[in-house]
Amino acid sequence: MKKMEINFGFWQKVKEKAVREKRPIFVLAPMADVTDAAFRRIIAKYSRMGKKSGGPDVLWTEFVSADGLCSPGREVLLHDLAFSKIEHPIVVQLFTSHPDKMRQAAALVAGLGFDGVDINMGCPDRSIEKQGAGAAMMKDPKAAVAVIAAAREGAADISISVKTRIGYNKVDFDWLRILLEQKLPVLTVHLRTRKEMSLVPAHWELMPEIVKMRNEISPETILIGNGDVESLGDGYKKVDESGCDGVMFGRAIFGNPWLFDEGKEKEKSKTEKLKDESNVIVEKLHMMVEHTKLFEKLLGEVKNFAIMKKHFKAYVNGWDSAKELRVKLMETTNADEVKKVVDKYVDSILSKESNE
């Protein structure tokens, strides 16, 4: 029987860089109505993606329906797949339970210039599970294997990876074993079951056992852990303790586009220690305005402006009078209104500072 070879594609360079720099692989999680085209561009810019001590190593898109990309609704979904040059390497995440749809969608996104395709086999959203996709794939391994094979047929020249959870109702190492047997270049494991959602701490204590299984079945597969990674420092710690190759950051990116910039994180820590709070606040608010304008420019015609308000809650948090500002921002309906509210607020805190 011919040995299955792993198509690493761009991941080979990512892996070599991590080894050369003696650091983990740090990537951004796919999050619906969060890691859209606008926010990814802001993250790539302010985390200095591709620069020394900058990151992330790889960006993920929001998850996108492969079925939808094969339907007349394709044109709207293509807005979710827009990306800029500074976002490379970038992986598109697709979901479906239909191999034929995955084959077509994978071919489409490969043609758009994505560096890789990741298959969502862990999302607990009920509407996605009703389609037999996302977390529902854990209950039908045969279908999951067929979808992986179809993605490889549709996008033969780029890497095909999978993101999943440790099980559906309970921890299921047999499921992870099946995925590892597919000789994936990358397997990302959210260390909670579907049943647990995000209601319990991620089970990082299980990662060493998953690493051991990986080493036995597919030692070349890059293993990325996901769940409750709070900072780059925490990422280093979790990788060191668990033995995986890298971590995927999710909620930690909210309100913190420079998360992956190691130099900035150190500078921010020093600034906070010096209690020079106003400069940090002003910088975050100006970044938020830039993010809002970009959202309106890129996605204003296809997405509700209310999506930005979850970002306002994250940007405007952790200092005196933040709540008052958030209330005013929640009343805005466009980027111009946001800028006016922020400009007035910034003028007030700078004026107060000059009078002290």
Per residue in 132-149, pLDDT (tens digit) is: 999 999 999 999 999 999
Residue 2 DSSP code: P
| Domain final residue, candidates 198, 233, 261 | 261
Residue 15 lies in a domain: yes
Which positions are annotated as active-site residues? 123
Residue 270 lies in a domain: no
| Domain final residue, candidates 261, 295, 327 | 261
96 close to 104: Cβ distance less than 8 angstroms: no
Domain match, 220 and 297 both = no
Residue 338 lies in a domain: yes
Domain match, 171 and 65 both = yes
Domain match, 101 and 223 both = yes
Residue 4 lies in a domain: no
Contacts of residue 33, Cβ cutoff 8 Å, sequence gap at least 6 = 62, 303, 307, 310
pLDDT at 88: 97
CB-count burial class (<10 Å; 0-12, 13-18, 19+) for 130: exposed
Q: Specify the residue for token string 């200095």.
A: 48
Domain match, 180 and 255 both = yes
Query: Which structural domain, as residue segments, surrounds residue 40?
Result: 11-261
CATH number at residue 83: 3.20.20.70
- Contacts of residues 292-295 at CB distance under 8 Å and 24 or more positions apart, as own/partner, are 292/335, 292/338, 292/339, 293/335, 293/339, 294/38, 294/41, 294/42, 295/36, 295/38, 295/39, 295/335
Residue 3 lies in a domain: no
Domain match, 138 and 220 both = yes
Based on the structure, what is the number of domains in the chain? 2
Domain match, 251 and 285 both = no
Q: What angle do CA 43, 45, 49 make, to 5 degrees?
A: 80
Per residue in 198-245, pLDDT (tens digit) is: 999 999 999 999 999 999 999 999 999 999 999 999 999 999 999 999
| Domain final residue, candidates 261, 291, 309 | 261
Domain match, 117 and 235 both = yes
Q: Are strands 25-28 and 222-226 parallel, antiparallel or unpaired?
A: unpaired
pLDDT at 280: 84
Element (H, E) at 343: helix 335-355
Residue 314 and residue 253: Cα distance in Å, rounded? 9
Q: What is the pLDDT along the chain (356 residues), one digit of tens a residue?
A: 446 789 999 999 999 999 999 999 999 999 999 999 999 999 999 999 999 889 999 999 999 999 999 999 898 899 889 999 999 999 999 999 999 999 999 999 999 999 999 999 999 999 999 999 999 999 999 999 999 999 999 999 999 999 999 999 999 999 999 999 999 999 999 999 999 999 999 999 999 999 999 999 999 999 999 999 999 999 999 999 999 999 999 999 999 999 999 877 555 554 444 345 788 899 999 999 999 999 999 999 999 999 999 999 999 998 989 999 999 999 999 999 999 999 999 998 877 665 55
Domain match, 256 and 284 both = no
Q: Specify the residue for token string 């709540």.
A: 323
Residue 1 lies in a domain: no
